């Protein structure tokens, strides 16, 4: 996640769970499901609870348009449902 490590988010411990780059079947489906008309990638990230409010504020900032937050929950299953994503196969 080069985009995160090169942003102000690099100050926080952020673990990517599901990451789909633009033009992939999953990203296209999620964007359609969420009615996002741009060709963008989507990701589900895990943030430490102690950092949650700072990371969320950063993502909601009007000055930062590289990332947006669509949903948050302590349950990964709920975030996937809200984004129209299925659980990826185990590796």
Residue 89 within any structural domain of the chain:
no
Of the chain, the percentage scoring pLDDT greater than 70 comes to 93
Residue 88 lies in a domain: no
pTM, 2 dp: 0.78
30 domain-assigned: yes
Please report whether residue 26 resides in a domain.
yes
Which residues are CB-contacts of 30 (< 8 A; sequence separation ≥ 6)? 20, 36, 42, 83, 84, 85
Residue 91 in domain? no
Task: Please report the pLDDT score of residue 63 as a whole number.
Answer: 64
Q: Is 90 within a domain?
A: no
28 — pLDDT class (breaks 50, 70, 90)? very high
- In terms of pLDDT, which residue wins out, 15 or 1? 15
Does residue 78 lie in a domain region? yes
**Domain extent at residue 58:** 2-83
| Count of structural domains within the chain | 1
* Backbone phi, psi, residue 20, to 5°: -130, 120
62 located within any domain: yes
Contact call for residues 80 and 86 (beta carbons, < 8 A)? yes
pLDDT in the model for residue 1: 61
Residue with tokens 């669509």: 70
């Amino acid at each position: 996640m080069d985009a995160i490590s090169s942003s102000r988010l690099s100050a926080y411990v952020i673990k990517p769970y599901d990451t789909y780059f633009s033009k992939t079947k999953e990203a296209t489906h999620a964007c359609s499901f969420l009615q996002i008309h741009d060709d963008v990638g989507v990701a589900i990230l895990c943030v430490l609870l102690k950092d949650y409010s700072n990371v969320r504020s950063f993502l909601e900032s009007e000055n930062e348009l590289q990332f947006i937050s669509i949903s948050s929950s302590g349950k990964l299953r709920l975030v996937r449902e809200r984004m129209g994503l299925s659980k990826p196969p185990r590796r």
